[in-house]
């Protein structure tokens, strides 16, 4: 047989075998994130001190002033803008939950948002984060829809890029909320690390969001896709896709207690911090 011809046949066989193996794999194992090149917003937390006021504002209190006591979840913390609860140190944003008596609450923490400063519809949103540990801790990196037209949650939509229960350090959740699929009825999927933990090192949490699809990633590996069809199926046709009609803003926070994840216990050590290396948004 001609050597060149034999070589071509060999290449063809290898390609065929590779293609067949990919078709037989789960999407989670083969699908990786698209290359992101068009950066439109970022915070690398390069300046020590308070977070950049041109990029972040604070939500203060226990939710009562916003008309949602306990932040809608019977949470126990009082959010502050104090350096004890939120600061930038050595290139990392640090959000710290503390056990202390403050303004009628037994815990303090912080919640940063980009509302009115940066809001965007569609794109890739990602952050590199190291998480705290302990029963009763509930850190999150998430998006909330603009409510300037007077609509309220869940009609405005919510995309939880990462939420995490401190007593389950190998697991994170990716979740969406909207009309007929909110709160305990939200659409969610977990990702569990087999040989690592989210409280011992940094991991990248991200979504890629287009008009009719939201892909969820951890460390650039796809683990969930939400589409209007998924919402229809999960809600038996009652849900409404609210992720293509408004921009969303970014939220970073560490909650304490509440209906989910439950209160801290005697083994929960304070203070506990969530460390954020960067937040980036791409078209």
pLDDT at residue 171, as a whole number: 98
42 sits in which H/E element: strand 39-43
Instruction: Provide the CB-side half-sphere exposure for 137 (13 A, CA).
Output: 28
Tokens of 203: 């991991």
Quickly list H helices, 203-262: 228-235
Measured CA to CA in angstroms, residue 113 lies from 90, 144, 229 at distances of 21, 9, 30
End-to-end CA distance of the chain: 52
By the 8 A CB rule, do 78 and 62 touch? yes
Q: Please tell me whether the overall predicted TM-score, pTM, comes out greater than 0.85 for this model.
A: yes
pLDDT at residue 31, as a whole number: 53
pLDDT digits (tens, 9 = 90+) for 37-91: 799 999 999 999 999 999 999 999 999 999 999 999 999 999 999 999 999 999 9
Low-confidence ranges of the chain (pLDDT < 70): 1-36
Measured CA to CA in angstroms, residue 85 lies from 50, 66, 177, 263 at distances of 10, 20, 28, 19
By the 8 A CB rule, do 123 and 282 touch? yes
Measured CA to CA in angstroms, residue 164 lies from 45, 89, 180, 231 at distances of 22, 23, 23, 22
| Pairing assessment for the beta strands 77-79 and 105-109 based on DSSP bridges | parallel
pLDDT at residue 37, as a whole number: 77
Catalytic residue numbers, as ranges: 158, 163
Residue closest to 120 by CA, chosen among 192, 38, 32: 38
């Amino acid at each position: 047989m001609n050597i060149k011809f034999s070589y071509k046949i060999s290449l063809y066989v290898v390609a065929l075998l590779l293609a067949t193996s990919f078709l037989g794999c789960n999407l989670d194992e083969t699908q990786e994130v698209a290359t992101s090149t068009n950066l439109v917003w970022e915070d690398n937390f390069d300046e020590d001190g308070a977070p950049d006021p041109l990029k972040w504002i604070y939500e203060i209190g226990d939710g009562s002033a916003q008309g949602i006591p306990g932040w809608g979840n019977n949470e126990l913390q009082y959010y502050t803008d104090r350096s004890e609860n939120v600061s930038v140190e050595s290139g990392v944003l640090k959000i710290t939950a503390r056990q202390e008596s403050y303004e009628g609450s037994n815990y303090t923490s912080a919640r940063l948002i980009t509302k009115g400063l940066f809001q965007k519809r569609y794109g890739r949103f990602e952050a590199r984060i190291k998480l705290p540990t302990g029963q009763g801790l509930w850190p999150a990196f998430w998006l909330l829809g603009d409510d300037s037209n007077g609509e309220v949650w869940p009609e405005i939509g919510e995309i939880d890029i990462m939420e995490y229960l401190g007593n389950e350090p190998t697991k994170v959740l990716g979740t969406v909320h909207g009309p007929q699929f909110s709160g305990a009825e939200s659409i969610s999927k977990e990702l569990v690390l087999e040989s690592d933990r989210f409280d011992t090192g940094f991991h990248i949490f991200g979504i890629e969001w287009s008009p009719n699809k939201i892909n969820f990633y951890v460390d650039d590996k796809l683990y969930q896709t939400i589409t209007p069809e998924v919402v229809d199926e999960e809600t038996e046709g009652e849900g409404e896709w609210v992720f293509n009609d408004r921009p969303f803003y970014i939220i970073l926070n560490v909650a304490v207690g509440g209906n989910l994840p439950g209160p801290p216990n005697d083994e929960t050590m304070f203070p506990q911090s969530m460390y954020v290396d960067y937040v980036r948004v791409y078209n």
